[in-house]
Amino acid sequence: VLDVYYSDATSAVAEPKIAKMLSENQVRQARIESNGAGDVICRNIKRILREDFNYVCNIDSFHQSVNKESKILSQDMWVMNNLLFPTDWDTRWKSFYGAMSMFLANFKENEHDDAPDCCSEIALLFNKGNKVKVMKKPRGL
């Protein structure tokens, strides 16, 4: 994991920040969950990328139809064994780190589940055989 945007900000605040992050990191492919207002958010981010950053990113929206609880719990071992985070992720992305490290197996006891949900979606992408580039672990991590 190279970068994270994790916030409870409104879409009006989040969309420009996400667009800036995609542009600065030269992201060519992104996926945004389209449940709720996701399709609108995708269109807005694409527009902001084009108008403010003169940048194009292929953003796919997807509908989440899998039971979130079972998805998170069934993919947790894959996430723990395969997702690599920077050594400073606890201070770099405090709220994301907190949501991941404090997640409880008793699903109803969790206040938030967006971070584990996102990571379990990454696990499903890999496990479904989608063409996802795997980077080798850099030395020293």
User: How many CA atoms lie less than 13 Å away from 41 in the CB half-sphere?
Assistant: 22
Condensed to tens digits (0 to 9), the pLDDT of residues 74-91 reads 999 999 999 999 999 999
Condensed to tens digits (0 to 9), the pLDDT of residues 2-59 reads 899 999 899 999 999 999 999 999 999 998 887 777 789 999 999 999 999 999 999 9
Residue 98 burial class via C-beta count within 10 angstroms: exposed 0-12, middle 13-18, buried 19 and up: middle
If phi over 0 gives left and psi between -120 and 50 gives alpha, with beta otherwise, what is residue 74?
Answer: alpha
What's the pTM value of the predicted model, to 2 decimals? 0.79
